[in-house]
Amino acid sequence: MKVITINGKKYRLPNALNPFQLGLYIHLIDWKWQHITTDYGTSQGGKYDAILPGTMVERNEWPHIYSEVRKVLRAHRSKNDFRIHPHFYHMASSQAAIINLFLPILQHPSVNFILGAIKPDLASLATDCLDNGYCIEFWGGNFDNNDFNSGNKGLLGDKSTMSGTDSDIAIAYRNHQNELCLWLIEHKLTESEFTECGGFKSKGRKAKHDCIKSFAQIVTDKHTCYYHDVRKFKYWEITEVNQQFFANHSSHASCPFRGGMNQLWRNQLLALALEQDKNQSYKHTTFSVVRHPGNNHLDESIKAFKALIDNNAMFTEFTSTNVIGAVEKYSDAVLDEWITWYRGLYRLKEHKL
């Protein structure tokens, strides 16, 4: 933890922040001090101004969630007891940010037009699926009481109460051919990278878990991968079935998924597995990343992943500014109020149509 002083105000911050993170953290702290509280929060014994105080956590308060959707969010959680992230009570929480970005839209009468402007194949929200057409922290078994103890570890075999592959939000919709589809969305606010491979860094790795092997070599001998061999995750089994999707894997001399592409790979595998699962009704399943427009630190991994899959249309990326721009085309007084609030909280510039 470090303390910096700007315009006479002292900010308690993490030690390592890139320029984008520093700027947004300062803004979020100022917003918190003005709209919520000047009390600090704690993490691992340190005091931080970007974290909400423990009293709010204990009372299960969500002052950083848009007021008009808090009741809706609590109702959703009563049906889908999704995991609250450890950093949810941080002002820079990506989990909170995607809730603030999509729930107001999903409750609005113009939802079909707004989402269709972002995803052109979307004709109508499938309100008869999931919870009125959406699900937070979707992994495939959300409405089965999230019962991991029964042995349901999801299609990728990696889900537990504390970890595993999921998307920040899933949206069920019908396309213009009236086919039921699913849209998985991952959000990044200030993160400088996607989640990297935990197996690559695991202390349980043995010599045979050779991440230097190529994509093709690992597909042939999946026990090369710690996740497959020890954890029994199904990543490489699904990858083998979908080798053509990863069209340019031969351009990587070793495993492409050790770094930031690991999370993109796993989320894409979830989309592929859902589309191919006979127990699911989704005809098409796609995956997108939405990020803050000022966060360019993710660009390298996104570019590399697009190259790996030869720009397959099943994966797309956009920014929160793109979402706000789509909303503005169909905005009314209710949405105008939310847009002003969202822009103010996350420091988004005016979007020119």
d(CA 136, CA 102): 10
d(CA 277, CA 274): 5
Task: Give tens-digit pLDDT for 199-221.
Answer: 988 988 999 999 999 999 999 99
d(CA 83, CA 316): 25
- pTM over 0.85, yes/no: yes
Q: Considering Cα of 298, then 117, then 109, then 284, what sign does the dihedral take?
A: negative
Per-residue pLDDT, averaged over 3-30, amounts to 97
| Dihedral pair phi/psi, residue 114, rounded to 5° | -65, -50
Burial of 5 (0-12, 13-18, 19+ CB in 10 A): exposed
pLDDT at residue number 353: 36
pLDDT at residue number 151: 67
Q: With bands split at pLDDT 50, 70 and 90, how would you rate the model's confidence at 147?
A: low
d(CA 346, CA 290): 14
Task: Give tens-digit pLDDT for 235-271.
Answer: 999 999 999 999 999 999 999 999 999 999 999 999 9
Q: With bands split at pLDDT 50, 70 and 90, how would you rate the model's confidence at 352?
A: very low
Q: Are 166 and 187 in contact (CB under 8 A)?
A: no
Task: Give tens-digit pLDDT for 59-70.
Answer: 999 999 999 999
Which percentage of the chain shows pLDDT scores above 90? Answer: 92
Closest CA to 100 of 326, 323, 352: 323
pLDDT at 145 over 70: no
Question: Measured at the alpha carbon of residue 226, what is the angle toward residues 164 and 299, in degrees to the nearest 5?
Answer: 60
Task: Give tens-digit pLDDT for 87-125.
Answer: 999 999 999 999 999 999 999 999 999 999 999 999 999
Per-residue pLDDT, averaged over 290-296, amounts to 97
Q: Are 165 and 197 in contact (CB under 8 A)?
A: no
Q: Hey, is 326 helix, strand or coil?
A: helix
Closest CA to 82 of 9, 123, 34, 137: 137
d(CA 76, CA 72): 6
